[in-house]
Amino acid sequence: MTAACPACAAMPPVEDVVSAPALQFSLPTIHCAACISKIERGLARMPGIGHVRVNLSLKRLSVEGHVDATRVQAALTDLGFEAYPLDMAALTNTRDDEGRKLLTRMAVAGFAMMNVMLLSVAVWSGAEDATRDLFHLISALITLPVVAYAGQPFYKNAWSALQVGRLNMDVPISLAIALAAGMSLFETLNSGEHAYFDAAVALTFFLLIGRYMDHQTRSAARSAAKELTALEVHTAEKVTDNGTETTPVSNLAVGDRVLVPSGARVPVDGTLTSGKGLMDRSFLTGESAAVPVAAGDLLQAGEINLAAPFTLEATAVGEDTTLRRIAALVETAENSRNSYTRMADKAAQFYAPAVHLLALFAFVMWMFIDGDLRHAINVAIAVLIITCPCALGLAVPAVSTAAISRLFSEGFLVKHASALERLAEVTHVVLDKTGTLTRPAAMVPEAMTAGERGVAKALAQASHHPLSRALLEQLTDTTVAPLSDIREVAGQGVEGMWGDTPVRLGRGHWLEASFDGLGLRIGTDTAHQIEAPETLRDGVADALAQIDLPCEVLTGDSEGPAQALAKQLALPVTAQARPEDKLARLDALAAQGERVLMIGDGLNDTAALASAHASIAPAVALEASRNAADVVILKEDFAALPLVLKVARATRDLSKQNFNIATIYNLFSIPLALAGFATPLAAALAMSISSITVLLNSQRMRRVK
């Protein structure tokens, strides 16, 4: 028998070496090295795990080995950490290929720059004639391929602009790199004393640093969208006549019934059709507390079932799910344009041709002054480089993207970058009451019969008003009455036909009752009063205390509850305001020169939200209200609401500061370049420093409290 090689004998069997694909989990609550150590030590003891790696910056865990994701998630919960499985296919499909390419080009340019500068040191130290020419030729062999490869992002953008007869900031950049490299090669082939290969490659390197930092800043919001996309479920348990069958989520249609097991994520938006449930919505809303749900409640894709299995009826699938729409909004909001962006674009459009004319002027001027062609070309190159409008182009997008990303991390979905500009201009705040500032409850009278309860439930199901939602919570065990011709009257209630009998659920005066609150009326019978005590939403009092602007409340509620709220919050409150009343009040404030922020959630708020200077709606708002709003609050807690205004003002201030930085840089640098005091290398350093300064100034957004 042949003896085995010792190394082979010590090697584990092949099936043990090849592990299953790595499992990925999002860990939103980790914050330090101690968390990493605790997780890695805790999971390393589990059988079947081969390798554990925690990335603190991404807050992500990678687990390799033969182990079930459910066991890993349970172990992480036991260790005291929230964990959410991620779909790596979704993350891989949206990987940052552009960032990887920029980083690779930057690394190549940086390595080449160091080597070319070492060769330049020898020339600067006194190398002459053949030795100097040899060092210049070696520098050329290094520089020319590197700038051809590493500078491609600039060349492609410049060529695209020139093909349509435009000039952009990449045109002078590309021209400066080409002239620096071409002039240096000309000098080398003609045994010239000076060559600027170090300037050409250094210029490329520093420009790539600025371009990469800009890309990373813009990717902040996109990374949040990727995490949301990765939460999507790709298979589901479809309920059929023969039981359940596993099917791709892409094959589900509106109306399909889906079984959601315990601990599983909801695959589509839908209505709960069985019993009660307990949902974890923390990854979508930031709220850690579990949310109880009952039959008839709406569920969103990405939520996690914390209780017994339940079934739901799909109401939105694919691109129409709430999770997918939020991810799309986060990803596209940064591309919206505000007046600062448009001003920067106009300045850049004027600036690009001005740069070329200035460089031409420098060339002609120095040819007239000393007649030295080489010196005149070098000054023109330095002018092209130092006047590149990179900082101007980055001034606004860098700030807007950082602001949108910051607000999303705090639970606010900004739908348009222009919203930040308008929020910064707000001078007056108008708020709705029910569902916005308060959370109602409902107390069903014992005198109501089973049939009347069924009518109340049927009418309540047809409305998204917070009072209707509260009433449904009290009628979970009630059989829905068959109604027809159901319609909602904005600001009043819901009505329909129960057989031949008209039925109404709504405000007392609408029911011709003697009370002011919520009630139910069957035909011509006396209306039943439904008590609806309200409590302030968490964080409302603190938020209003911190908002340094005049605030008032417009509510369609009756005078009694409205005045109780006025006393509690010490705010002026207008009661029994219909949709047209709210709109008229906003118009009156606008006529007085006020720029109004409207915060509301109901159907009767939609017109006001759309007409206000800026608007905010909570996530529980009616879909029409969310669509009309500029910002959606994903959390239940309102305490962070003042942060939206502070970030908006910081966005305006930092954008102006970045414009000033770019302006001051040009006021000092352009005269120096025209006077011939800036070499191409010094110009590259100065221009890159200005861009990096703008980007670093934009990151001050992260420190807004």
What pLDDT, in 10s, does the model give residues 606-652? 778 878 888 898 876 665 567 678 888 877 778 888 999 999 999 88
Tokens of 668: 């000092």
Give the CB-side neighbour count of residue 24, counting CA atoms within 13 A. 15
Cβ neighbours for 442, distance < 8 A, ≥ 6 positions apart: 467, 470, 471, 473, 474, 518, 530, 531, 532
Q: How confident is the model at residue 56 (pLDDT cuts 50, 70, 90)?
A: low
> Given a cut of 70, is residue 415 above it in pLDDT?
yes
Domain 235-320 fold is: 2.70.150
* φ, ψ of residue 313 in degrees (nearest 5): -105, 120
Q: Is the pLDDT of residue 517 over 50?
A: yes
pLDDT greater at residue 653 or residue 283 = 653
Q: Band of the pLDDT at 14, cuts 50, 70, 90?
A: very low
Retrieve residue 88's tokens: 């790596």
Position 309 scores a pLDDT of: 82
The owner of tokens 């996690």 is 304
Quick check: pTM over 0.75?
A: no
DSSP 456-517: HHHHHHT---HHHHHHHHH-TTSPPP--EEEEEETTTEEEEEETTEEEEEEETTTTT-SSSS
* Phi and psi based region of residue 452 (left: phi greater than 0; alpha: psi -120 to 50; beta: remaining): alpha
H helices within 60-169, ranges in order?
69-78, 88-93, 97-124, 129-150, 152-163
pLDDT at 20: 45
Question: What is the structure's pLDDT at 224?
Answer: 46
Give me the percent of the chain exceeding a pLDDT of 70: 79
Main-chain phi, psi angles of 246, to 5 degrees:
-75, 125
Q: Residue 555 has what pLDDT?
A: 85
Which region among 215-229, 253-267, 536-550 has the lowest average model confidence (pLDDT)? 215-229
Fold of 15-86: Alpha-Beta Plaits (3.30.70)
DSSP code of residue 19: P
298 - beta bridge partners? 271
pLDDT band at 564 (very low <50, low <70, confident <90, very high): confident
Backbone angles phi, psi at 696, to 5 degrees: -65, -40
Per-residue confidence band for 4, with pLDDT thresholds at 50, 70 and 90:
very low
Give the β-pairing of 551-554 and 60-65: unpaired
Which CATH code is given to the segment(s) 411-438+537-639? 3.40.50.1000
Q: Which tokens sit at 151?
A: 């500078």
- pLDDT bucket at 9, cuts 50 / 70 / 90: very low
Q: What do you get for the CA distance between the two ends of the chain, in Å?
A: 74
Lowest mean pLDDT, pick from 41-55, 157-171, 344-358, 370-384? 344-358
pLDDT of residue 330: 46
Residue 42 has pLDDT above 70, yes or no: yes
Q: What stretch of H or E contains 522?
A: strand 518-522
| pLDDT bracket for residue 58 (50, 70, 90) | low
475/495 Cα distance (integer angstroms): 18
pLDDT digits (tens, 9 = 90+) for 296-343: 888 888 787 877 788 899 888 877 676 666 555 544 443 444 454 455
Mean per-residue pLDDT for 89-110?
Answer: 74
Banded pLDDT at 144 (limits 50, 70, 90):
very high
CB 61 within 8 A of CB 24: yes
Residues 257-274 have pLDDT tens digits of 888 887 777 888 889 888
Model confidence at 243: pLDDT above 90? no
Q: How confident is the model at residue 594 (pLDDT cuts 50, 70, 90)?
A: very high
Among 42-56, 225-239, 397-411, 566-580, the minimum mean pLDDT is found in 225-239
Q: Contact at 8 Å (CB) between 670 and 380? A: no
Does the pLDDT at position 504 exceed 80?
yes
Q: What pLDDT is stored for residue 64 in this prediction?
A: 82
Of 240, 308, 319, nearest to 279 by C-alpha is 308
- Average pLDDT of the segment spanning 509-518: 84
Question: Between the ranges 63-67, 77-81, 353-357, 667-671, where is the mean pLDDT highest?
Answer: 667-671
**What is the reported pLDDT for 658?**
85
Contact between 76 and 41 (Cβ < 8 Å): no
| Local confidence band at 47 (pLDDT 50, 70, 90 cut-offs) | confident
Q: Is 432 a catalytic residue?
A: yes
pLDDT computed for residue 337 by the predictor = 41
Q: What is the overall mean pLDDT for the chain? A: 77
Helices (H) and strands (E) in the chain, counts: 26, 27
DSSP state of 602: S
184, 193 Cβ separation under 8 angstroms: no
Instruction: Choose which CATH entry (1.20.1730.10, 3.40.1110.10, 3.10.180.10, 3.80.10.10) describes domain 442-532.
Output: 3.40.1110.10
In 3D space, the residue among 179, 201, 183 whose CA is nearest the CA of residue 120 turns out to be 201
Instruction: Select from 699, 691, 679, 705 the least CA-distant residue to 200.
Output: 679
Token pair for residue 220?
A: 């902040």
Q: Say how far residue 59 (Cα) sits from the centre of its chain.
A: 17
**Confidence (pLDDT) at 621:** 67
Residue from 275, 320, 274 nearest 300 by CA: 320
Residue 147: which pLDDT band, with cuts at 50, 70 and 90? very high
Q: What is the pLDDT, as a whole number, of residue 223?
A: 47
List alpha helices for 303-338, DSSP H.
Answer: 322-333
Helix (H, G, I), strand (E, B) or coil at 518: strand
Query: For residue 336, what pLDDT is reported?
Result: 44
Distance between CA atoms of residues 636 and 383, nearest Å: 55
**Alpha-carbon distance 478 to 449, whole Å?**
11
**Minimal CA–CA distance to 210: which of 96, 283, 74, 109?**
109
Of 133, 297, 432, 630, the active-site residue reads 432
Is the pLDDT assigned to residue 220 strictly greater than 50?
no
Q: Using pLDDT thresholds of 50, 70 and 90, give the confidence band for residue 96.
A: low
**The pLDDT of residue 296:** 83
Given a contact cutoff of 8 angstroms between Cβ atoms, the answer to whether 430 and 548 are in contact is: no
Contact 642, 545 (CB under 8 A): no
Domain coordinates in residue numbering, the chain: 15-86, 98-223+336-399+653-703, 235-320, 411-438+537-639, 442-532
How high is the pLDDT of residue 437?
Answer: 85
175 Ramachandran zone, left/alpha/beta (phi>0; psi -120 to 50): alpha
How would residue 426 be classed by pLDDT, with cut points 50, 70 and 90? very high
Could you tell me if 543 and 456 are in contact, meaning their C-beta atoms sit under 8 angstroms apart?
A: no
AA identity, residue 380: A
Query: What integer is the mean pLDDT of 658-666?
Result: 83
Task: Tally Cβ neighbours within 10 Å of residue 664.
Answer: 11
- Identity at 290, one-letter amino acid code: A
The pLDDT of residue 6 is above 50 = no
Span 436-463, pLDDT tens digits: 888 777 788 888 888 899 998 888 887 7
Cβ neighbours of residue 465 under 8 Å, at least 6 residues apart? Answer: 434, 435, 602, 603
pLDDT of residue 352: 66
